[in-house]
Amino acid sequence: MSETSAWLTVEQRDAPLILSLPHTGIDIPSQYREGLVSLDLARKDADWWIDKLYIFARDLGATFVHTAISRTVIDVNRDPSGASLYPGQATTELCPATTFDGEPLYRSRRAPDAAAIVERRELYFEPYHAALAREIARLRRRHERVVLYDCHSIRSVIPRLFEGTLPNFNIGTNAGASCAPQLTATVEAACRSDQFTSVVNGRFKGGWITRSFGAPDKGVHAVQMELACRGYMREAPGAVSERDWPAPWDEAYALPIQKSLRGVLEACLAFAHAKSQ
């Protein structure tokens, strides 16, 4: 069963696994375009091609929750109060004013004000989280455990956000609070290979979705997976421009990491189906 609106898609299936795709959207409704420096810049930090990368999860019975709205309109993976998820570190806001590289998204004094942010939160943020909550409740009625897997990607090198080159797999569990240790261990093991690098709770520990929904004592285990883009697309080193970003989707190039991700999601399902001790 599927539910689709102009911007929110929910594909319902019955396995105890939900894939959240909060940042693959690039839609910017016309009423929000005025004041932007450019549409290309506003779409620069999308999680490019992640919806294509995880398409195999449909065959595993996973439910998908996906927003088509760009994170520049509103980031549904930020604290709705506006508080930073990473105090003291560079990041972007609930309604971002800059790109990850620090480039202004809006012309002078054209960024959304407090009233505009409230409107966007009501229109997009709250319905997205309500959809996730409904799907978690639906699947918890069927299963003792449910895994919420939040899908993300980011360029491998962004000096403003982190030093050096990001590992291929960045597993976030809110420092262990959003899921059982057994799930963290099994996801980490599934990521381990000679071809790809990984880290648990490094620079990215999980955004608001992971932190707000993860409740292992209630049978809801949330994990964020932040992929470095070079693992699945031909990412040019260094800074990117409108001419060369994003790199085109290349199914053959993405296949190796896609196989690893299948192993990750199969491990999530094995954990969810196992009886709790």
The two three-digit tokens of residue 133, written as one number? 């909550």
The yes/no answer on whether domain 2-273 falls in CATH 1.10.30.50 is: no
Q: What is the mean pLDDT of residues 32-45?
A: 96
pLDDT band at 276 (very low <50, low <70, confident <90, very high): low
Look up tokens 């980011």; give the residue: 154
Domain assignments of the chain as residue spans, ordered by start? 2-273
Q: How far apart are CA 146 and CA 269, in angstroms?
A: 9
The reported pLDDT for the residue numbered 3 is 67
pLDDT band at 125 (very low <50, low <70, confident <90, very high): very high
Q: Assess whether pLDDT exceeds 70 at residue 277.
A: no
The reported pLDDT for the residue numbered 236 is 86
Q: How far apart are CA 114 and CA 229, in angstroms?
A: 33
Q: What is the mean pLDDT of residues 183-204?
A: 96
The angle, 0 to 180 degrees and rounded to 10, between the axes of the packed helices 251-273 and 181-191 is 150
pLDDT band at 38 (very low <50, low <70, confident <90, very high): very high
Q: How far apart are CA 85 and CA 82, in angstroms?
A: 9
Residue-averaged pLDDT of the chain:
96
Q: How many DSSP H helices and E strands does the chain contain?
A: 7, 8
pLDDT band at 1 (very low <50, low <70, confident <90, very high): low
* Residue 76 CA neighbour count, 13 Å, CB half: 31
Each residue of 75-86: pLDDT tens digit?
Answer: 999 999 999 999
Look up tokens 């000679």; give the residue: 194
Look up tokens 């189906």; give the residue: 273
Q: How far apart are CA 60 and CA 62, in angstroms?
A: 6
Q: Which of 226, 233, 277, 239 is nearest to 256 (CA)?
A: 233
Q: Alpha carbon of 80 to those of 2, 76, 93, 196, 276: distances in Å?
A: 27, 8, 10, 34, 33
